[in-house]
Structure 1
Amino acid sequence: MAATPFVSVMVVIYNHDQYVEQALDRILAQRVNSPWEVVVADDCSIDGTAAILARYQQRYPDIVRVLPVELGVSRNFERAMQACLGKFVAIVEGDDYWTSPDKLQLQAEFMQSHPDFSMCFHNAEVIGNV
């Protein structure tokens, strides 16, 4: 990674082999005007998730960082958050995906111009079973 990222995308995953490619493809399609990174934390998936993550890390070594496997949801989340180097952190789970390629840029600009805010979010649409 060449420059310190302005935005980190934190992806927490457990057994998301059916969804993680769509999630990562939508993250990697973001149009961001500053350095950014994707930090992926897999919580000991037992499906094909690890192989998929290895392919993405190999394909995008300057953006995607896959953390070593950890056991435990709260430890995995905490470890991922600590590994993020960006001034701002966007969180997405491995079975979710973003629909706008401008999401990160818009939210980073909002946060940068509103230093009194500690977080922002957007509408979400639930597809499938909850």
Structure 2
Amino acid sequence: MKSQDLDWKTETNKSPLVAIWMVTYNHEAYVVEAIDSVLMQQTHFDFKLYIGDDCSKDNTRKIIQEYKEKYPHKIELLLHEKNLGASPNGIFMYQHCIQTGAKYIALCEGDDYWTDPLKLQKQVDFLEVHKDCNVCFTRATMLKGSVLTLHEIPKPFSSVPFFYEELLRYYNFITTASVMFKNQKNLVIPEWITSLPFGDLGVYKVISQDKKIACIDEVMSVYRIHGEGIWSKVKPIEAEKKYLDFYKNMYVHLNKNEQSIVSQKIKKSLSNVSNYKYPSQKIARKLHLYFNLIKSFRYL
């Protein structure tokens, strides 16, 4: 995405060691907690918060502007004059943070927050030592209403570094607000990410660059679940179709091992779609599956 294609206002300063990526849209009820959790970080290096507001209709913009006035050297605002959508705004902010020249980039959406004041320091220390890892994340809790629960991840990945293919095998078990990654030379977040139903899982493929991903086994962030959640309202057959859309769009960007995993996922999703569509009609279910397997042959 080219910056000249967008309407935004910004101020620039020297590069920090860590650039913090934050996107906001109608987050007035949450953004104060998100920003405060960034500002409380205790580090031996400079960091800066970059907030991309996607033309919020509530008081989010007013709140972040007040923070900018109070912390002019810690916060930079990118204020869109028209709504871009979550994925385009996210990619734009990725590219802006990359272009700051910061060595590391940490993620925190405007409705999530960090809980450990040493989070950034611990993640930088980890990535400085582990040269074979491009991405690290932390354990997190999930907040729904007033209830906090631990976000589970498959064993042994809380303590053993792994490759991107495991995120495809078990689906994405990383919470966005827990992530820090290395700003590699010539790194670009491509526009094809916007075609994915699950853009974050596409981003992790790009930023991992076929190096390892590792978890720091400490809870340091909170992922907020709003109300009933979008997925709770999606019918099972529609959810399977979204997975199929993701796998098929990602396929061309994957290596051989990853493609093999995705092929199995596609077969499973196609079978699930047929089962949901014709739960009590065995012949119709088999014909539907057979027809769709033929249509999806290039991925299998």
In the superposition, the TM-score normalised over structure 1's length comes to 0.93
TM-aligned CA deviation for residue 3 of structure 1: 4.2
Calculate percent identity across the aligned residue pairs: 38
Q: Superposed, which structure 2 residues align to 1:1-130 within 5 Å? A: 3-69=14-80, 70-84=83-97, 85=100, 86-129=102-145, 130=225
- Any gaps of 5 or more consecutive residues in structure 2? 1-11, 146-224, 226-300
Q: Quick check: 2:55–2:79 contact (8 Å CA) kept in 1?
A: no
Runs (4 or more) in structure 1 with deviation over 3 Å come to none
Give the 3-state SS of the residue equivalent to 2:107 in structure 1: strand
* Higher relative contact order structure (alpha carbons within 8 Å, sequence separation ≥ 6): 1
Aligned partner letter, 2:38: I
Whole-angstrom distance in 2 between the partners of 1:123 and 1:95: 17
What root-mean-square deviation, in Å, do the aligned CA atoms of Structure 1 and Structure 2 show? 1.4
Higher helix share goes to which structure?
2
Deviations 1:30-65 (A, max 9, x none): 011111110001112111000001001111111100
Whole-angstrom distance in 2 between the partners of 1:24 and 1:2: 19
Name which of structure 1's ranges 113-122 and 15-24 shifts more when overlaid on structure 2: 113-122
Q: Quick check: 1:8–1:88 contact (8 Å CA) kept in 2?
A: yes
- Any gaps of 5 or more consecutive residues in structure 1? none
Q: Quick check: 1:3–1:35 contact (8 Å CA) kept in 2?
A: no
Give the 3-state SS of the residue equivalent to 2:137 in structure 1: coil
Q: Quick check: 1:40–1:67 contact (8 Å CA) kept in 2?
A: yes
Whole-angstrom distance in 2 between the partners of 1:37 and 1:106: 17
Whole-angstrom distance in 2 between the partners of 1:95 and 1:63: 19
Name which of structure 1's ranges 81-90 and 91-100 shifts more when overlaid on structure 2: 81-90
Q: Quick check: 1:40–1:64 contact (8 Å CA) kept in 2?
A: yes
TM-aligned CA deviation for residue 81 of structure 1: 1.1
Give the 3-state SS of the residue equivalent to 2:136 in structure 1: coil
